[in-house]
Every structure is written in structure tokens, then in C-alpha cells.
Chains A and B, each alone.
Chain A
Amino acid sequence: MNKFINIKYLKKWRISLEHKNEDKKGGKVPKPSDTSLILKNLNDRLSRIEILIRDLEYPRAEEEINEVIKIALANKFSAIYNRANQLLDIINKEKLAGEFHRMEIEHDKLIKKAPKIYDKFLNGSLDSNSASEQLISLLENTLEVDVRVDCIKLFKENANK
């Protein structure tokens, strides 16, 4: 009888041990709560957003951030919300810097435009009429004072040539 009880006990013990081993192998992992699942998902999305920003994919990154912010707000995840806003700031600063750089390039191009027209006139690749038409058009269509002054000076200096 005693022997029988021991065997029964051993069987139970073995079953409970098997369960424990299954858990360790990942077979029967306890279910994560919804909150930790959402958190994990948001953290993954933030990592993806960082990559998008690194790859200069700002529109997609912004889209993702806005969604992350919505979810973070709804679930009151302040850390995620703050990080998403930081990333949004980074994007805005990068966009602004990019825009400023583009404007600098445009400005440089514009500043050189009138002298270039004049150079073309001098080396014969533009005739007198075309050169003056281009200068007039530049004068009419730009607000950049230096460029307009250049145009008028060129007219003045070359009026009788």
C-alpha cells in the first residue's frame, strides 16, 4: 500500500516537473497582459521610427509618430508619449534645417543668375535681345534686391553696346 502511494506521488511529481520544463522551453509561457503587449508594440514602433528618421523618411516617420502618440495618450504611457514627441521635434528641426539649406542653395543660384546671363551674352551664346529679355524677366520675377540691382546695373553699363 505504502509502495503504491509512493508511485502515485511520484507520478504527480513527474507531471508537475514536465509542466515546469515546458514553461522553460517556451511551450506554455504565461500570457502577457494587454498593457505589456501594447508597450512592446509601441517600443518596437519607436525603434522603427528612429530608423525611418535616420533614412530621412520624414513623412512616414511622422505618420507613425502620430499613431504612436494617439495610442500612448489613450493608454497614458507618458514615457512613450515623451519619446514620440522628442522624435517629432527632431523631425521638425531636420526639416527646417533642410529647408534652410535648400533656400541657401536657391539664393546662391539666384545671386549668380544675372552675371551668368551677362557672361553668356559676352561669350556669344546669347544674343543681345535674348540677354535683355532674360534680365527683364529676372528683374520682374525676383524679390531679391541684390539680384535686381545687378540686372539694372548690367542694363546701365551695356545700354549702348
Chain B
Amino acid sequence: MRISDEKCFKLFENLLTSESDDHLRLIACSALIEIYKKKALEPLLWAFEHDKNSFILEY
């Protein structure tokens, strides 16, 4: 399935940084890593610094 890159990336990034549901944030995080790889680094670092649950470490 071809994903319209920027739109989808922004969507997952928003989910990672501002979604209140942990499960959804985690799955957005995994999607960012698997689909966008290096491009995902910046939002991941932001989440790592600011997310109190540090769920990225679990992932």
C-alpha cells in the first residue's frame, strides 16, 4: 500500500507526541520506526524526552 508520505508521517508523529492513549502512542511509535526509519528519529527523541511513561524504552 503506497502511503502518501508527508501526510502519514505527520499523522503518526502527532499520535506519538500528543495522543492520550498509551497503546495508540506505542503503535504509532512502532509504525514510525518501521516505515520511516531515520526520519522517525526526531519525533522519537522528543517523545523519549517528554513522555513521562517512557514507553519507548519498553518498545
A residues whose Cβ falls under 8 Å from a Cβ of B: 121, 128-129, 131-133, 136, 139-140, 145, 148-149, 152-156, 158-159, 161
Contact = CB atoms under 8 A, between A and B. Distances in A.
Contact of A145 (B1, B7, B24): B24
Contact of A132 (B2, B21, B28, B30): B2
B1 A149 contact: no
Nearest to B30: A156
Interface string B1-36: 111100110011001000001011001101100110
B31 A152 contact: yes
Given A132-B8, A148-B15, A153-B27, 16 more contacts: A121-B1, A128-B2, A129-B4, A131-B1, A132-B4, A140-B11, A148-B24, A149-B24, A152-B28, A155-B8, A155-B35, A156-B30, A156-B31, A156-B35, A158-B1, A159-B1
B3 A132 contact: yes
Contacts, number: 50
Contact of B3 (A121, A148, A155): A155
Contact of B21 (A133, A145, A158): A145
A136 B27 contact: no
Contact of A159 (B15, B21, B23, B35): B35
